Amino acid sequence: MTAKAEKSEASPLAKLREPFAAHHISKLPKPSKSQTEQVKADYKTGHRCKLCGSWHHPDVVHLDYVGHAALTDRLLDCDPAWSWEPVAFREGLPAFDATGGLWIKLTVDGVSRLGYGHAATKPGADPGAREKEVIGDALRNAGMRFGAALDLWHKGDLNAADHAGDAKPPPVSEPAKPDPASNLAARADVLVGAINAAADAAALEKVWALGSGLCAVLDLKDPDKLAAISALYETRHEELASPFTKAA
């Protein structure tokens, strides 16, 4: 196989990892509990945000994210035949878990990866609005497993290694840098410990969401480790969702 042919075959998945244009990146307001309470107590303490269009406390922090429409546009560019399906069904419909979340399988260019979505119920929302939000969240989570918008999930510099050649080599006497593989294993062990320590299903979901960035790296670097952690998560989820566990 020629190098050109190899590049052509890899291009759909490689395109998923390309950075999103600025106009495809949205701003998500993340108010603190005290900020939310202030606005609830006095509506006038909030303002109509020019950045995200929402009404909230003026000091709210915003997070960058790629919305459902922008991700769908990218998926269609990469593979017009892309598809997703629930991991499980119940009475012919997608099986949501005990907390209202949904596991899905996203398939792009013949490659399938899992993703998980969740969304809180909002007062006054239209019927089905939460379910649609869950699906969008699951698609973004599964897309991240392919590297889509991974730079927005990661708080560091994913491309730091690309510029390593620009720096001067360290002196011979400088201590060796830690092995990245060892650091990754240590972070994985921390995630395993947090999953085992989760006291209830809500705490477990929070741990899993916080560990999504690490899971994306493991998917690329150590898929066997990711499979083991995912299996542990499923086992713990079943335990915590069990009525017998709740009764205990």
Q: What pLDDT digit, counting tens, does each position of 15-31 carry?
A: 887 888 777 777 778 78
Residues 123-138 have pLDDT tens digits of 888 888 999 999 998 9
| pLDDT above 70 (res 150) | no
| Confidence class for position 233, pLDDT limits 50, 70, 90 | confident
SS3 188: helix
CA pair distance 110, 79, nearest whole angstrom: 9
> For 64-119, what is each residue's pLDDT tens digit?
767 788 888 888 988 999 999 999 999 999 999 989 999 999 999 999 999 999 98
| Strand locations in the chain (E) | 25-30, 47-48, 55-56, 61-66, 83-86, 89-90, 93-94, 102-108, 111-117
Among 236, 192, 197, CA closest to 215: 192
d(CA 61, CA 24): 19
Q: What is the pTM of this model?
A: 0.50
Question: Using CA atoms, how far apart are residues 187 and 181, in angstroms rounded to an integer?
Answer: 10
